[in-house]
């Protein structure tokens, strides 16, 4: 019996997006401490750029190759023969 492991987004694209978004969040946080609207806008732009970079990298093949949750049978539902499928997707 083959074990199936979920990937949870552990990919270069996901980590790049998270890193850029964290940088943007840090910039925006500094903008709150030093009331500076320009720095806040820069932080927001960096956050959006991080999300876009992650999506572009994922489309370029650096994302996870896991299956989608809606593909296949419903989790924990018996198959046609009545066999238990607990934990399978």
Tens-level pLDDT at each residue, the chain (89 residues): 566 666 666 888 899 999 999 999 999 999 999 999 999 999 999 999 999 999 999 999 888 774 444 444 445 555 566 666 555 55
In the prediction, which pLDDT does 31 show? 96
Q: How far is CA 6 from the centre of its chain?
A: 13
In the prediction, which pLDDT does 44 show? 97
The answer to whether 71 touches 14, Cβ cutoff 8 Å, is no
């Amino acid at each position: 019996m083959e074990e199936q492991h979920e990937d949870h987004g552990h990919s270069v694209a996901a980590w790049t997006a998270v890193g850029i978004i964290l940088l943007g969040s840090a910039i925006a946080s500094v903008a709150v401490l030093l009331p500076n609207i320009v720095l806040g806008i820069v932080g927001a732009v960096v956050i959006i750029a991080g999300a876009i970079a992650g999506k572009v990298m994922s489309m370029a093949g650096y994302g996870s190759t896991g299956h989608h949750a809606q593909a296949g049978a419903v989790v924990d539902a018996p198959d046609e023969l009545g066999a238990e499928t607990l934990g399978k997707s």
